Structure 1
């Protein structure tokens, strides 16, 4: 990820965190996670993208629904 992409993601996360309620650290963590997931979902389906989405807490079912692919295709990507 390039510097300008990181800067853009942080701007979006701070704006989102300001709209939430509660502890700032918790709000920022949730907002940053959400913005990272949106960023990875805008990229084409690859093994790296699937792994990063899973690390961020997104389920196979949501990945499958977003990319409109079957579970077999996702599993075959991860098996390579």
Structure 2
């Protein structure tokens, strides 16, 4: 990510965090994770995208549902 993409990501995360209730640190962490997940979901399905989504806490089920692929296709991408 370059500077402008990072700045846009932070703007989205701050606006999302302002809508939530509770501790600011927790709200910001949740908002950043959500913005990063949305960013990776907009990219094509690759091994790196799957790994990043799993690292951010997204489930296999949600990945399969969003990309409309089966578990065998995800497994084959991860095995490469």
| Aligned structure 1 segments of 4 or more residues deviating by more than 3 angstroms | none
Greater shift, 1-10 or 25-34, is seen at 1-10
Deviations 1:17-75 (A, max 9, x none): 00000000000000000000000000000000000000000011100000000100000
Give the Cα separation in 2 of the matches to 1:74 and 1:2.
Answer: 28
Q: What SS does structure 2 have at the residue aligned with 1:13?
A: helix
User: 3-state SS of the aligned residue for 2:14?
Assistant: helix
TM-score computed with the length of structure 2 as normaliser: 0.98
The aligned length equals 80
Distance (Å, rounded) in 2 between the aligned partners of 1:33 and 1:44: 19
**What is the CA-CA distance between 1:3 and the residue it aligns to?**
1.4
Unaligned runs of 5+ in 1: none
Residue 9 of structure 2: aligned partner: 9
Q: Any unmatched runs of 5+ in structure 2? A: none
CA distance in 1: counterparts of 2:78 and 2:3, whole angstroms: 28
RMSD over aligned Cα, in angstroms? 0.5
When normalised by structure 1's length, the TM-score is: 0.98
